[in-house]
């Protein structure tokens, strides 16, 4: 748990260094926000060493997530995403994700993320993925999002092991 606290304490100044200037710019000095809301669900594979010395793979828990993508209109290729999720199976788990996002087009987005679960046990890791959108109107987009993540820190890990997630998510994006 102390490792998680140290990681978060180191991460907060980095996030503040990005958020504070963009918040002041939003007050009216320079730019406006481009906002997208996202809701979806997904599952995939989860793997790691269960303590036997080998890697075992199982189907990952079904996850429901919701979030907000923010980017400045003057630099709309770069942005941040803030997501919360709930895993439903075996036991109820709550978690979140903060993403740096890079838009290649209005419908293709790559991301790098810090993510983790916070209840009932903790895990903290890094992930990456891509979102492929399929517009169905002026403000609505269906999407598919393959992603991978690795969790080296947390109380929900087998001893001296890393948990890996490979997931396929789908959902609906809304321009706000």
Task: State the pLDDT at residue 4.
Answer: 58
- More confidently predicted of 155 and 3: 155
Domain-located, residue 27: no
| CATH code of the domain containing 53 | 2.40.160.20
How many domains is the chain built from? 1
Domain-located, residue 13: no
* Among 36, 114, 92, residue whose Cα is nearest residue 69: 36
Domain-located, residue 88: yes
Show the tokens assigned to 36: 């997208």
CB 134 within 8 A of CB 109: no
Question: Which span out of 32-36, 77-81, 152-156 was modeled with the highest average pLDDT?
Answer: 77-81
pLDDT in tens, 111-146: 999 999 999 888 899 999 999 999 998 899 999 999
Domain-located, residue 148: yes
**The pLDDT of residue 22 is above 60:** no
Task: State the pLDDT at residue 44.
Answer: 93
Q: State the Cα–Cα distance between residues 130 and 112, nearest whole angstrom.
A: 9
Strands, DSSP E only, in 73-162? 78-87, 93-103, 108-119, 123-135, 140-153
Domain-located, residue 67: yes
**Domain extent at residue 111:** 32-175
pTM: 0.76
Q: Using pLDDT thresholds of 50, 70 and 90, give the confidence band for residue 26.
A: very low
Residue range 90-104: mean pLDDT, rounded: 92
Task: State the pLDDT at residue 148.
Answer: 96
Domain-located, residue 128: yes
Q: State the Cα–Cα distance between residues 58 and 163, nearest whole angstrom.
A: 11
Q: Using pLDDT thresholds of 50, 70 and 90, give the confidence band for residue 16.
A: low
Domain-located, residue 116: yes
* Among 105, 101, 152, 163, residue whose Cα is nearest residue 128: 101
Show the tokens assigned to 169: 């998510």
């Amino acid at each position: 748990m102390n490792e998680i606290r140290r990681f978060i304490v180191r991460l907060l100044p980095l996030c503040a260094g990005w958020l504070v200037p963009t918040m002041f710019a939003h007050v009216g000095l320079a730019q406006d926000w481009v906002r997208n809301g996202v809701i979806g669900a997904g599952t995939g594979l989860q793997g790691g060493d269960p303590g036997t010395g080998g890697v075992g793979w199982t189907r990952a828990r079904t996850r429901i997530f919701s979030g907000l993508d923010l980017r400045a209109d003057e630099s709309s290729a770069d942005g941040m995403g803030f997501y919360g999720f709930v895993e439903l199976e075996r036991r109820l788990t709550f978690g979140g994700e903060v993403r740096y996002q890079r838009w290649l087009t209005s419908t293709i987005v790559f991301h790098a993320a810090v993510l983790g679960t916070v209840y009932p046990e903790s895990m903290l890791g890094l992930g990456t993925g891509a979102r492929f959108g399929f517009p169905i109107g002026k403000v609505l987009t269906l999407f598919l999002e393959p992603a991978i993540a690795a969790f080296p820190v947390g109380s929900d890990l087998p001893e001296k092991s890393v948990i890996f997630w490979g997931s396929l998510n789908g959902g609906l994006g809304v321009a706000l």
